[in-house]
Amino acid sequence: MIPPAFDYVRPESVDEAVRTLGNAGEDAKVLAGGQSLLPLLRLRLAFPELVVDVGRIPGLRGVREDGGTLVIGALTTHHDVLADPLVRRHAGLLAAATATVADPAIRHRGTLGGSLAHADPAGDLPAVALTLNAELVAAGPGGQRTIPAREFFLDYLQTSLRPDELLMEVRVPKTDEADGWGFHYEKFSRVAQAWAVVGVAALVRRDNGHIAEARIGLGNMGSTPLRASATEAALAGVGPDGVAEAARSAAEGTRPTGDPSASPAYRAHLARVLTRRSVLAAAGMG
């Protein structure tokens, strides 16, 4: 299908992009890698009057350390996130989930910031950002502001980014295996490279054979990524024998929808099964 007509501009700096977005308001869409926006345009599910291509703005790519935090530029591609030694060493869960994103062609074009700003709850990375307690830094007319991941995702394909703001970077606290952290990401899809019917991101800190802390992010169990808070609380202090019981509450507080891929009840079942498996793998108890 042919996309609707739109104007196109390619700013050369963050300030220029912010001004352009501010002038256009709700009528503009940001183009980064294009892996989320272009399908919407082709299917005529989005009708922007202006497309703002930020793909060549300098300084929005790459990974660096800032004390106990990794700072990842919003335009860093999935391929570069996956290949980066800092990510693999200090944010293994992000690397593991990124490796499951679509196929190599899309991972070479799609960006971390684009995926998060698209805010599809069936995507792999929004739930991971929530699990990692990531923060997202946006630039606007008044300067920069930092948005915790738990406040970033508002509804289906909606975020707290304002129309005149540009996502600049993602800040991810380090979760090193040397500090007792383990991780696992698993999703159930009907066919290879499809959206997850349900995805589970597990981050577990171990202490003396027991779980000292657990964080569990759920994908496609509501209109936004969610945390399995009841299961997280139930896992504190348990050993291998307590994981299955704790995982039974993984779907509490979720709002899964029904579609041709799965009913709400089946999605809840998948959340419980994948949570049990992911926590055991992350804790080295499986």
Q: Is the pLDDT of residue 209 over 80?
A: yes
Give pLDDT, residue 194.
Answer: 79
Residue with tokens 């308001």: 25
Q: Do 48 and 78 reside in the same domain of the chain?
A: no
Q: pLDDT by residue (tens digit) across 149-179?
A: 999 999 999 999 999 999 999 999 999 999 9
Give pLDDT, residue 96.
Answer: 98
Q: Do 187 and 261 reside in the same domain of the chain?
A: yes
Q: pLDDT by residue (tens digit) across 115-138?
A: 999 999 999 999 999 999 999 999
Give pLDDT, residue 190.
Answer: 87
* CATH number of the domain bearing residue 142: 3.30.465.10
Number of domains in the chain: 3
What's the mean pLDDT in 268-281? 98
Confidence of residue 41 (pLDDT cuts 50, 70, 90): confident
Q: Is the pLDDT of residue 193 over 80?
A: no
Give me the domain span that covers residue 225. Answer: 182-283
Is residue 177 in a domain? Answer: no
* CATH number of the domain bearing residue 264: 3.30.390.50
Q: Is the pLDDT of residue 56 over 80?
A: yes
Give pLDDT, residue 29.
Answer: 95
Q: Is the pLDDT of residue 112 over 80?
A: yes
Residues of the chain above pLDDT 70, percent: 100
Give pLDDT, residue 198.
Answer: 98
Q: Do 217 and 149 reside in the same domain of the chain?
A: no
Give pLDDT, residue 142.
Answer: 96
Is residue 1 in a domain? Answer: no
Residue with tokens 């202006």: 50
Is residue 2 in a domain? Answer: no
Pairwise CA distance, residues 136 & 130, whole Å: 11
Average pLDDT value for the chain: 96
Q: Do 84 and 144 reside in the same domain of the chain?
A: yes
What's the mean pLDDT in 22-39? 92
Give pLDDT, residue 39.
Answer: 87
Q: Do 151 and 69 reside in the same domain of the chain?
A: yes
Q: Do 198 and 167 reside in the same domain of the chain?
A: no
Tokens of 240: 């291998």
